[in-house]
Structure 1
Amino acid sequence: MNSDFLKYQAQTTPHPLAMEISYANGSYIYDSNNKAYLDFVAGISATPLGHNHPKVISAIKKQLDKYMHVMVYGEYIQKPAVELTKLLAKNLPSSLEKTYLVNSGTEAIEGALKLAKRATGRSEVISANKAYHGNTMGSMSIMGFEERKQAFRPLLPNVKFISFNNESDLKHITKKTACVILETIQGGAGFIVPSNNYLQKVQKRCNEVGALFILDEIQPGIGRTGKLFGFENYNCIPDILVTGKGLGGGMPIGAFTASSKLMDLLQDNPKLGHITTFGGHPVIAASALATLKEVTESNLMQEALEKEQLFRKLLVHPLITEIRGKGLMLAIITPSSDTANSLILKCQEAGLILFWLLFEPKAVRITPPLTISNDEIIKGCEIIIDLLDEIQQQ
């Protein structure tokens, strides 16, 4: 299987982890030798209810028995998609009332950028240095990391970059700006949280010049920060909200949400302003609906904050210089990339899954399922501390 994996399936790096998966359940993934791995990553924040959650699996199976794909997005009334978008609206501020369902976070970003240009008639897009919003051509254009973009230029024109949390850069947002797009918490940059009401100040500046304010909640959304969406922690409301990853409960999804006034612009002048074949797929929408219901109707969001404090209490070590993030979106910062690499690889050998961040080589991702137990947190943290001791002695 390993040789076939490398021969027939395109890879993203020269050295994939190449663990052969047999099955997964709860907070654990099992390889082909039936070795259990405690999952502190949750598919990069994409399985908030853990693996094989009974309510999610039941919703998928029930929908499979009824029908799968029947028509391109937006033409037929399909109950799972209608109920999902209605439940999202119920749990969002009144200005965020209509949702367009797509297939991935990066497609949702593309749709949000198109909507901003359509609504304002402007072309300038402002993003942040070290931002990551996906990897299609439009999303890559607003990635604030040139090393990952240079091989694929030319990209979208008229994109400018500001520094996250730098208020003096807000002067660059002008009446030429169609939109400012930011991650609520910068992910690839190292889980940088907004400070000093930064997002509120960006929103105010956007309002002053008529630009739209877009927030990317693909990672922090769906309960991970102790609120359904991260922006609820930071005294702001975006004009366009983008989500994905965890919303699908392990199935591929993306979505962008705005007011009806904005979203209806995609219907005409031109018609078919944004189209997708599989967006709102009934099986995926059923999975997302079950996930959203469980997150909003349980105590998982409050528990995410309590579990954050347990992680911070347990992860104290000379080789941990800082723990960034909020809730169960956390990153260990180590003294060097070598330390981070060693810890991630040694933990996998020891049965604990950790992972890297895109642009911060000293960081180690900790984004477990929201359903992870305190005992599992304690077990995983003990492995981390023991291996950091080992690395320190080398």
Structure 2
Amino acid sequence: MKKDFFKYQAQTTPHPLAMEISHAKGSYIYDSKQKSYLDFVAGVSACSLGHQHPKVVTAIKEQLDKYLHVMVYGEYIQEPAVELAKLLAQQLPESLEKTYLVNSGTEAIEGGMKLAKRATGRSEIISAKNAYHGNTQGAMSIMGYEERKQAFRPLLPNVNFIEFNNFSDLDKITSKTAGVVLETIQGGAGFIEPTNNYLKAVKRKCESVGALLILDEIQPGFGRTGKLFGFEHYNIVPDILVMGKGMGGGMPIGAFSCSTELMNLLQDKPKLGHITTFGGHPVIAAAALATLQEITSSNLIPETLEKEALIRKHLQHPLIKEIRGKGLMLAALVDSAEVCNEVILQSQDKGLILFWLLFEPKAIRITPPLTISNDEIIAGCNIIINLLNNIQAKMA
């Protein structure tokens, strides 16, 4: 299998982890030799309810027996998509009442940017340095990390950047700006939270110049930060909300939500302002609906903050300089990139899955399923501490 993996399947890096997967359940992934691995990554924040959650699996199986794809998005009334959009509206502020379902977070970003241009008649998009919003051409254009973009230029014109949490940079948002796209909590940059009411200041600036604020909740969303969406911590409401990853319970989906007035602009002048064949796919929408129902009807969201406290308590070590983030969207910053790499790679041998962040080489990603137990958290933290002890001993 490994030989075929490298021969036939496209690779994203020269050295993938290349673990051969047998199955996964709960907080664990199992390889082809039936070794278990405690999952502290959750498919990079995608598997909110862990692996093979029974309610998600049941929803998928029930929908499989009814119908699969029947028509391009938006033409037929399909119950899973309608119920998902309705439940989202019930959970969101009134101004985010209508949702467009797509296939991924990056497609949702594309839709949000198009909508901002359509609504304002302007072309400039502003994003943040060290931002990551996906890897399609438009989303890559607003990625604030030139090293990842330079090989693919030219990208979208009229894209400019501000520094996250830098108030003086807000002067760059002007009457030429269609939309400002920000991660509510910067992910690839190292799980950096907004400070000093920064997002409120951005929203005020957008309102003053007639630009739209687009918040990327692809990583913080669906309960990971102790609220259903991260923006709820900061007392603001975006004009356009983008989501993905954790909303599907392990299935591929994305969406963007806004007011009916805004969303209706994609219906006409021109018609088909945004289209997708498989967006709102009934099986995937059923899985996302079951995921949202479980997250919002259980204690998982408040428990996320309790689990954060438990992780912070048990991850104390001289080589850990700080733990950034909120809830179960955490990054442990260590002494160096070398220490980070050693911990992540050695943890797999010890039966623990950890991973990197995109742009912060000293950060260890800790984004387990929301369903992870306290005992599993402690066991995973103990593995990390033991690895750090061994590394520290070698450094002495």
TM-score, normalised by the number of residues in structure 2: 0.99
Query: What displacement does 1:136 show?
Result: 0.2
For residues 270 and 313 of structure 1, the distance between their equivalents in structure 2, rounded to whole angstroms, comes to 55
Query: What displacement does 1:159 show?
Result: 0.3
Secondary structure at 2:15 match in 1: coil
Aligned ranges 1:4-19 → 2 under 5 Å:
4-19=4-19
Match of 2:366 in 1: 366
Alignment deviations for residues 157-194 of structure 1 (CA, whole Å, 9 cap, x no partner): 00000000001100110000000000000000000000
Query: What displacement does 1:357 show?
Result: 0.1
Query: What displacement does 1:45 show?
Result: 0.4
Secondary structure at 2:341 match in 1: helix
Aligned ranges 1:54-133 → 2 under 5 Å:
54-133=54-133
Structure 2 residue 166 is the aligned partner of structure 1 residue 166? yes
Secondary structure at 1:95 match in 2: helix
Match of 1:191 in 2: 191
> 5+ unaligned residues in a row in structure 2: which ranges?
none
Query: What displacement does 1:200 show?
Result: 0.7
Match of 1:313 in 2: 313
Aligned ranges 1:347-358 → 2 under 5 Å:
347-358=347-358
Q: Which amino acid aligns with 1:196?
A: N
For residues 162 and 68 of structure 2, the distance between their equivalents in structure 1, rounded to whole angstroms, comes to 43
Q: Which amino acid aligns with 1:302?
A: P
| Segments ≥4 residues shifted beyond 3 Å | none
Query: What displacement does 1:94 show?
Result: 0.3
Match of 1:257 in 2: 257
For residues 294 and 235 of structure 2, the distance between their equivalents in structure 1, rounded to whole angstroms, comes to 25
Query: What displacement does 1:276 show?
Result: 0.3
For residues 134 and 337 of structure 2, the distance between their equivalents in structure 1, rounded to whole angstroms, comes to 23
Q: Which amino acid aligns with 2:77?
A: I
Match of 1:24 in 2: 24
Match of 2:288 in 1: 288
For residues 73 and 216 of structure 1, the distance between their equivalents in structure 2, rounded to whole angstroms, comes to 22
Q: Which amino acid aligns with 1:346?
A: Q
Q: Which amino acid aligns with 2:112?
A: A
Match of 1:182 in 2: 182
Query: What displacement does 1:302 show?
Result: 0.2
Query: What displacement does 1:248 show?
Result: 0.6
Structure 2 residue 343 is the aligned partner of structure 1 residue 340? no
Query: What displacement does 1:87 show?
Result: 0.2
Q: Which amino acid aligns with 1:241?
A: L
Structure 2 residue 393 is the aligned partner of structure 1 residue 393? yes
Alignment deviations for residues 256-281 of structure 1 (CA, whole Å, 9 cap, x no partner): 00000000000000000000000000
Match of 2:45 in 1: 45
Query: What displacement does 1:152 show?
Result: 0.1
For residues 253 and 111 of structure 2, the distance between their equivalents in structure 1, rounded to whole angstroms, comes to 13
For residues 283 and 350 of structure 2, the distance between their equivalents in structure 1, rounded to whole angstroms, comes to 36
Aligned Cα root-mean-square deviation (Å): 0.3
Match of 2:377 in 1: 377
Query: What displacement does 1:235 show?
Result: 1.1
For residues 199 and 224 of structure 2, the distance between their equivalents in structure 1, rounded to whole angstroms, comes to 18
Aligned ranges 1:258-277 → 2 under 5 Å:
258-277=258-277
Match of 1:3 in 2: 3
For residues 140 and 393 of structure 2, the distance between their equivalents in structure 1, rounded to whole angstroms, comes to 41
For residues 41 and 234 of structure 2, the distance between their equivalents in structure 1, rounded to whole angstroms, comes to 25
Alignment deviations for residues 225-255 of structure 1 (CA, whole Å, 9 cap, x no partner): 0000000001110000000000011000000
Match of 1:201 in 2: 201
Query: What displacement does 1:118 show?
Result: 0.2
Secondary structure at 1:149 match in 2: helix
For residues 236 and 14 of structure 1, the distance between their equivalents in structure 2, rounded to whole angstroms, comes to 42
Query: What displacement does 1:393 show?
Result: 1.1
Secondary structure at 1:37 match in 2: strand
Q: Which amino acid aligns with 1:317?
A: H
For residues 38 and 341 of structure 1, the distance between their equivalents in structure 2, rounded to whole angstroms, comes to 18
TM-score, normalised by the number of residues in structure 1: 1.00
Q: Which amino acid aligns with 1:124?
A: E
Alignment deviations for residues 26-70 of structure 1 (CA, whole Å, 9 cap, x no partner): 000000000000000000000000000000000000000000000
For residues 287 and 4 of structure 2, the distance between their equivalents in structure 1, rounded to whole angstroms, comes to 31
For residues 274 and 170 of structure 2, the distance between their equivalents in structure 1, rounded to whole angstroms, comes to 30
Q: Which amino acid aligns with 1:328?
A: L
Match of 1:153 in 2: 153
